[in-house]
Amino acid sequence: MHVSFSSQSRAGGSQAPDCFAPSLPDEPLAKVLADSARWRCDLSAASLAPNRTVIRIPVDPDGTVPRFFSSVPIVAGDIVVALVDKDSRILTEKRFSPVEILAAPLDNRFLIPLPATKRQSKAVIVAFDYPINPSLFLRSRLLDSNPINEPQSVRLLLVVAIVCGLLAMPMAYNIAFYPVLRERFVVWHIILSLALLAQCLLSSGIAMHFIDLSVEQLFRGQVISFGMAVAAMCAFTEAFIEPGKLNPVLRKIMRWVPLWMVSVAMGHAFFPTVLRAIQVKLYYAAFIPVLVLLVISLINGLYRGSRSAELKLIGLTPFFAMGGIRLVTMLFPGFSPEEATPMLYVAIVVEGAVATLGVAHRLMNIKRQRDDALAETRIFEDLAERDPLTGLLNRRAIERNFEQLRAEGFRVCALIDLDYFKSINDSYGHAKGDEVLRSVAGALREDEDTLAIRMGGEEFMLLLRGSDARNRAEARRQAITRHVAIDVVGLDRPVTASMGLLEMAERGPQHVTFETLYTRVDRLLYDAKAGGRNRTFGEKMVVFSARGKDRRTLRRAA
């Protein structure tokens, strides 16, 4: 007894299946057609338990002859397509393996050209070996023409291309900013954008306009990119929420979610038939605790006052809606999954816009915090390089920056020592001596061409640049006596200073160290002391000689 056919068609030039039957992979289709007891016409009751499921799609005798069979690219085994006549006799049939079936460049489907036959067919029989998803049966269609040529298809591709462009912009923004502010959430947002871009290109069919992908490759690409998107979304959320604004236990758990999601995605992509009858439900069920954890983390962040959690919740709301639709449609095949596709594009646009604003907000906050920290560090460094008594630079500062200062043109070095300063401390006390030192610092005033340094005790150094540097150094030495006389009350003698001055030739030695320079100018200072004090001894340096010995001990005794 053969199964009878009833004509059923859908608007828009496509026909949908009306009945199904379980079978074995090697069982002839003619035998299945002949066994009417197997056939059931409630497609929502189709099960994944049989190793082969056969569906029947009637052909409208008054309509256009269909040219393609189409379904979703969730294929693990072979597909056999056959045309039958009104007496249920097979006119022609052809087998396709998953690697032979190319994904269509539109709407997340594949197209198989129907076998040619001279006789009129009444139905198309399609057998799926080792099916892994009931959507294969529910979304199977016969098409009169290739939908890629229809105007609405072009409009859809244009919309998706715009969405892909919107994804690419924040990705470029993050790549540009990462070298400046090396934050983990920037890396995870780049990975999230890449995964969503891949998902968008694959699910819309745009990718197939540039490369040929089999349904097996497309299936793996979609599963992996979706799993990576969820993994990156969780990692980005954890890193994006400010320190102290997320429960430490939740933060620790969230850091393990990417490993879990990548493992689930890889397992389902490369081993889809291990638990074939229930694997799809297990796969989608694996996302439920992740979504729950994500929601709990965002709520916890909001409770703790996280601005980032607030922005992230707004951005992820469409994804939660899309995820809910996808979970319902996959766990309960009676529901149509068509609503999830446009929601994906809406979710991508909203998440991309909000996340980019959030990343910009966080980057500005981090930059502000780092600028404040750098400013504070500079203050401490400045304090470390300044003499606390006089406010002048100290020896540490000049030693660290000597090469740079030479390169900037500071070629005149003057070493100044107060005459008979020890007697001031002995006669008037160290407090009075400190007043004298502060007054001397005022006399050695700094400007953009003059640096004043307190080397220690009553010894000071000037580094100068400019054509009149020698005269400016001498003017400052002579100003010491006037400044101290005005600033320090109660001294019974004028305070004078001796100075050794060394002018480095512009074309002279280029590898003079600070210690070498200091040793030479110190000898000149000693000569000034030995020559009667309150005077300057100077010379212009061309090369250094090693004459004499360091007589600092003799000068200090003077």
Residues serving a catalytic function are 458
Hey, what are 19's tokens? 């009945």
Question: The tokens 């007894």 sit on which residue?
Answer: 1
Q: How many Cβ atoms sit within 10 Å of the Cβ of residue 409?
A: 13
Give 189-235 as a 3 state SS string.
Answer: HHHHHHHHHHHHHHHHCHHHHCCCCEHHHHHHHHHHHHHHHHHHHHH
N-term to C-term CA, the chain: 130
Contacts of 538 (CB under 8 A, 6+ apart): 414, 470, 499, 500, 501, 502, 503, 524
- H-only helix segments in 241-331: 248-270, 276-285, 288-303, 307-331
Query: Do residues 214 and 118 make contact, with C-beta atoms less than 8 angstroms apart?
Result: no
| Cα 281 to Cα 74: distance, rounded to the nearest angstrom | 14
Dihedral angle of Cα 506, 511, 515, 520, to the nearest 10 degrees: -40
Instruction: Give me the half-sphere count of Cα atoms (radius 13 Å) on the Cβ side of residue 479.
Output: 13
Quick one: which H or E segment has residue 187?
Answer: helix 184-204
Name the DSSP letter for residue 44: G
Contacts of 129 (CB under 8 A, 6+ apart): 25, 51, 52, 77, 78, 79, 80
Query: Do residues 337 and 287 make contact, with C-beta atoms less than 8 angstroms apart?
Result: no
Give 111-141 as a 3 state SS string.
Answer: EEECCCCCCCCCEEEEEEECCCCCHHHHCCE
CA distances from 19 to 9, 49, 380 (A): 13, 17, 81
Length of the chain: 558
DSSP 352-400: HHHHHHHHHHHHHHHHHHHHHHHHHHHHHHHHHTB-TTT--EEHHHHHH
| Cα 403 to Cα 410: distance, rounded to the nearest angstrom | 10
Hey, what are 260's tokens? 């879990």
